[in-house]
Amino acid sequence: MAVVFEKTKGLTEKPTHYCPGCTHGIIHRLVAESLEELGLLDKAVGVAPVGCAVFAYDYFSCDMQEAAHGRAPACATGIKRVHPDSAVFTYQGDGDLASIGAAEIVHAAMRGEKVTTIFVNNAIYGMTGGQMAPTTLVGQKATTAPLGRDENHCGMPLRISEMLATIPKAVFVERVSVHDVPNILKAKKAIKKAFEIQMKGLGFTIVEVLSTCPTNWGKTPVEALKWLKENMVPYYPVQNFRTPEEVK
Amino acid sequence: MARELWKGNEAIAEAAIKAGCRFFFGYPITPQNEIPEYMSLRLPQEGGCFLQAESEVAAINMVYGAAGAGARVMTSSSSPGISLKQEGISYIAGAELPCVVVNIVRGGPGLGGIQPAQSDYFQATKGGGHGDYHLVVLAPDSIQEAVNLVQEAFDIADAYRNPVMILGDGMIGQMMEPVEFVGVPKRQLPEKTWATTGLRGRENHNIINSLFIDPAVCETHNQRLFKKYAEIEKNEIKVEEYNLEGAEIVFAAYGTVSRIVKNAIKALEKEGIKAGLIRPITLWPFPKANFLKAADMPSVKAFMSVEMSMGQMVEDVELSVKGKKPVYFYGRTGGMIPTPKAIVEEAKKILGGAK
Amino acid sequence: MAGKVTFDENRCKGCELCTTVCPVKIVVMDKDKINIKGYHPATVKEMDKCIACGSCARMCPDVVIKVEKL
């Protein structure tokens, strides 16, 4: 019996606390598998955000740090500068990265920090119960936008990947999704490539992953995948925005 | 090493390098700019890394990452910038990470001014961030002492896995004084087996974290921190007692103000008034016992805390003296500096009143 | 029977994502069973139809499913 698929050593044994059907679990797996397959688990250091993924330090089997809300890229900068040969990644949600941590991510990219950011965009604040995020879609309801996001009141959602792709040292910028198996496979490829580029020391790498939040979207897990495909993908096109010449 | 003339900020930076600090993350703010500037030139020469962060908030979180990765790391700023770092400092204390934070204090509040002040005493010693925690706070009165204290600060930080603050003021940062980089006694320090270096063959993964979602665990963690703080209070108090013998009035002053007070003491002596000084060098842990002992001295009629603030350390003096003798305050702030003459007048007013 | 899937049932949160991606539609929720978390865990009754494509395992957010090929 050949094993086609089994749990990666990059994840610990601890079951996750995520809500049923929340795709954080899939994204954790893709990051952990990538590190394992690239032989990087032994020198990886991950930085967990504040948000639903705040307990990620218990789920990844490599060394981890828990950063203050929005500050994971700064924390990762400190780690990578101390251990330049390590594989450093931040795992952040849209509240953490696109809101309070917007300056940190822009400047980590500006400096070309040789780290990989996994940016999970689920268009809402999950852990705190469904508030509007910078990535919340126009018209999408949230506990702080009860009638739906009004663009005249609080603007349009932030397209982080497109923004960061304008920064010279952000050498690899790709948006992926996990709403179906083909997309999951592509997401894995992008995440793995980001780590490879990091280890080549070419510059800052980020993979934005469109993700679901069944609980705060008020949908079943299966409906949430469908909602993501029909509403988020049109506004957040799934594509590569930048790849270094050396890797093309 | 011969004695050389050094500017305070630069001497502080060089002292950090001498102590093995190889990582510095800072941000421009007057009057501490020479520290990051100096580090930006010298650290790379020592195989270290200097980064100017996008904000003080980012800088302190870079310190968190680097300290968590096992490095000797420092940051510096001035009052408003230190306010921005408070959340990060609370995380660093909560995650028990060693680092050195330098505050070259300027007039406040708000944008305040850029001249020297001591109005960040409460922030430094009572905790400017959230939660129960303490920094060891060292207050040099000269550039030579600053150099010595900075070097020792890294050992204290590593010994207790705790952030240490150097609380100077604009004068400490901007003055030039003769300095000799004499080594400080090295402490026996444990290996940083807890650091996130990457597993590199290690069995269990290391986690740097200050989140304890279970309240019972969070409380236990707090209690463990406070056992550590009790150890620090027992072992690390630094204080100077000056001219206390037969003193009628005992001044309390730290940093550069203590030197002005010493001049006032000499002037008072010429007028036949015996005055002494207790100079806390560690603002936390505060030398309570020294004040209590002085309060029991029959000759002592009153205490006076002299600060470049509206009165902050005076409260700790009052707490220490426990009402045994009256405690007064005299201060200038906003960047204004008290003069010996004014201090003498204040003292005479009190003693006159107290006779 | 080309493939075999095993479910670490107590990790399953009953989200049903796996049931939507099986090309041969054999992954179902086991209505006769409740796991430790109180969910009906996912299962496969007609194992002989399994083609060991691994889609169910890749869609699962909780690494519940192991897939083997004969």
DSSP secondary structure letters along chain A: -EEEE---TTB-SPPP-PPTT-THHHHHHHHHHHHHHTT-GGGEEEEE-SSGGGGHHHHBSSEEEEPPTT-HHHHHHHHHHH-TTSEEEEEEEHIIIIIITHHHHHHHHHHT-S-EEEEEE-SSBTTTTSB--TTPPBT--BTTBTT-B-HHHH-----HHHHHTTSTTEEEEEEEE-SSHHHHHHHHHHHHHHHHHHHTT--EEEEEEE---HHHHTS-HHHHHHHIIIIIHHHS--SEEE--GGG-
DSSP type of residue C14:
-
**Closest Cα in chain C to A11:** C63
The answer to whether the beta carbons of residues B66 and B295 sit under 8 Å apart is no
Across the 248 residues of chain A, what is the mean pLDDT of every consecutive 10-residue run?
95 97 98 98 98 97 98 98 98 98 98 98 97 98 97 97 98 98 98 98 98 98 98 98 93
**A103 touching chain B per CB within 8 A:** yes
> The sheet that has C65-69: what strands, in order across it?
A2-5, C65-69, C3-7
The closest of B229, B60, B91 to B160, measured between CA atoms, is B229
| Boundaries of every domain in chain A | 24-247
Radius of gyration of chain A (CA): 17
The closest of B333, B348, B246 to B294, measured between CA atoms, is B246
CB-nearest partner of C16 from A8, A25, A222: A222
The answer to whether the beta carbons of residues A44 and B198 sit under 8 Å apart is yes
Cα–Cα distance for residue pair B291/B305, rounded to 1 Å? 11
**A198 touching chain B per CB within 8 A:** no
Chain C nearest CA to A5, separation (Å): 5
Any chains having at least 3 CB pairs less than 8 A from chain A are: B, C
The closest of B35, B31, B32 to B15, measured between CA atoms, is B35
At residue C1, the pLDDT reads 66
B4-235 and B240-354 share one fold: yes
Q: In DSSP terms, which residues pair with B51 in a beta bridge?
A: B25
Q: Tell me the CA distances in angstroms from A41 to B51, B192, B205, B343, one per residue in order.
A: 27, 20, 10, 64
Q: In DSSP terms, which residues pair with A63 in a beta bridge?
A: A45
Cα–Cα distance for residue pair B66/A82, rounded to 1 Å? 6
Q: Which residues of B touch A (CB under 8 A)?
A: 23, 25, 49, 51, 53-55, 57-59, 61-71, 73, 87-88, 91, 95, 196-201, 205-211
Q: In DSSP terms, which residues pair with A145 in a beta bridge?
A: A142
| Boundaries of every domain in chain B | 4-235, 240-354
**Closest Cα in chain A to B66:** A78
Q: In DSSP terms, which residues pair with B106 in a beta bridge?
A: B116
SS3 for C69?
Answer: strand
B208–A64 CB contact, under 8 Å: yes
At residue C19, the pLDDT reads 98
Cα–Cα distance for residue pair A196/A22, rounded to 1 Å? 27
**Closest Cα in chain C to A16:** C62
Chain C nearest CA to A1, separation (Å): 5
Cα–Cα distance for residue pair A36/A13, rounded to 1 Å? 15
**A90 touching chain B per CB within 8 A:** no
Cα–Cα distance for residue pair C68/B171, rounded to 1 Å? 72
Neighbours of B110 (CB within 10 A): 9
Rounded to two decimals, the pTM is 0.96
Cα–Cα distance for residue pair A81/A71, rounded to 1 Å? 16
Contact B/A (≥3 CB pairs under 8 Å): yes
CB-nearest partner of A76 from B54, B65, B211: B65
For A196-241, the pLDDT digits (tens) are 999 999 999 999 999 999 999 999 999 999 999 999 999 999 999 9
Question: Phi and psi (nearest 5°) for B229?
Answer: -65, -35
| Boundaries of every domain in chain C | 3-69
Cα–Cα distance for residue pair B198/A87, rounded to 1 Å? 8
The β-bridge relationship of strands B275-280 and B327-331 is: unpaired
Fold of C3-69: Alpha-Beta Plaits (3.30.70)
Cα–Cα distance for residue pair B219/A142, rounded to 1 Å? 34
SS3 for C3?
Answer: strand
A42–B199 CB contact, under 8 Å: yes
- Listed in sequence order, the residues at least 6 apart from B298 whose beta carbon sits closer than 8 Å to its beta carbon are none
The arrangement of secondary structure in B4-235, i.e. its CATH architecture, is: 3-Layer(aba) Sandwich (3.40)
Q: Which residues of C touch A26 (CB under 8 A)?
A: 58-61
At residue B355, the pLDDT reads 46
Amino acid at A85: D
Cα–Cα distance for residue pair B254/B118, rounded to 1 Å? 9
With vertex at residue B141, the alpha carbon angle to CA B136 and CA B142, rounded to the nearest 5 degrees, is: 120
Q: What is the 3-state secondary structure (H, E, C) of chain B?
A: CCCEEEEHHHHHHHHHHHCCCCEEEECCCCCCCHHHHHHHHHHHHCCCEEEECCCHHHHHHHHHHHHHCCCCEEEEECCHHHHHCHHHHHHHHHCCCCEEEEEEEECCCCCCCCCECCCCHHHHHHHCCCCCCCCEEECCCCHHHHHHHHHHHHHHHHHHCCEEEEEEEHHHHHCEEEECCCCCCCCCCCCCCCCCCCCCCCCCCCEECCCCCCHHHHHHHHHHHHHHHHHHHHHCCCEEEECCCCCCEEEECCHHHHHHHHHHHHHHHHCCCCEEEEEECEEECCCHHHHHHHHCCCCCCEEEEEECCCCCHHHHHHHHHCCCCCEEEEECCCCCCCCHHHHHHHHHHHHHHHC
Q: Tell me the CA distances in angstroms from A29 to A16, B54, B352, one per residue in order.
A: 11, 32, 77
Asked: is A24-247 a CATH 3.40.50.300 domain? The reply is no
Residues of chain B with pLDDT under 70: 1, 353-355
At residue B353, the pLDDT reads 59
CB-nearest partner of B65 from A42, A75, A103: A75
What ipTM does this complex have? Answer: 0.94
Distance of CA A101 to the CA centre of its chain: 13
CATH no., domain B240-354: 3.40.50.920
CB-nearest partner of C61 from A1, A8, A23: A23
Is the pLDDT at C39 greater than 90? The verdict is yes
The closest of B280, B202, B205, B272 to B241, measured between CA atoms, is B280
